[in-house]
Amino acid sequence: MTETLSPALPDDVEALIDRVLQQACERGLTLATAESCTGGLVASVLTDVEGRSHVFERGYVVYTNDAKAEELAVPSRLIDQNGAVSEPVARAMAEGALRCSGATIAVSVTGFAGAAGPDDEPGLVHFALAAAGSPTVHEEHHFGDIGRGPVRLDCLRVALRLLETAVTNR
């Protein structure tokens, strides 16, 4: 159970957090996150469980395009060609977090949590999961214009589910 955020998190999210951290501990795995629209929320919950946060290697909050390029070595041309909210950038973020952190598994989140530009779709989010020795996995979700908080919570669920699948299969 998370210490700080427990009162605000739904029970299903608490259970996911517990399963991810327990499985990672049992298997000796380390985790990293690369987050844009979630602003470090995934990293926060993974470090908020007493006695289990040691499996978390590090998190990158890369909200700007420059941060994605500087911190995770996401090629600027990739962002320019595809947009920051895209499958190629989500994949590059996860792979960059894996490479830069030395963790066993890294998850990335990039999307529009709320209203963005006129051509941007609120609630469009791309996720990727990179694991040593495995192909990078991508998921695209359309949560809709439900507000920043609900989108971020749904993103947390997806990221944790991706991590759970990865740690269970290792």
Q: Residue 128 corresponds to which tokens in the numbers above?
A: 């990727």
Confidence at residue 119, expressed as pLDDT on a 0 to 100 scale: 82
**If you ran DSSP here, which 8-state letter would residue 64 be given?**
S
Boundaries of every domain in the chain: 6-168
pTM > 0.75: yes
Does the domain at 6-168 match CATH 3.40.47.10? Answer given as no
What is residue 129's three-state secondary structure?
strand
Confidence at residue 117, expressed as pLDDT on a 0 to 100 scale: 77
Q: Residue 65 corresponds to which tokens in the numbers above?
A: 């395009």
CA distance 56 to 7: 22
How does pLDDT run across 86-123, given as a tens digit for each residue? 999 999 999 999 999 999 999 999 999 987 777 889 99
Return the percent helix, strand and coil in the chain, to nearest 5.
Answer: 45, 20, 35
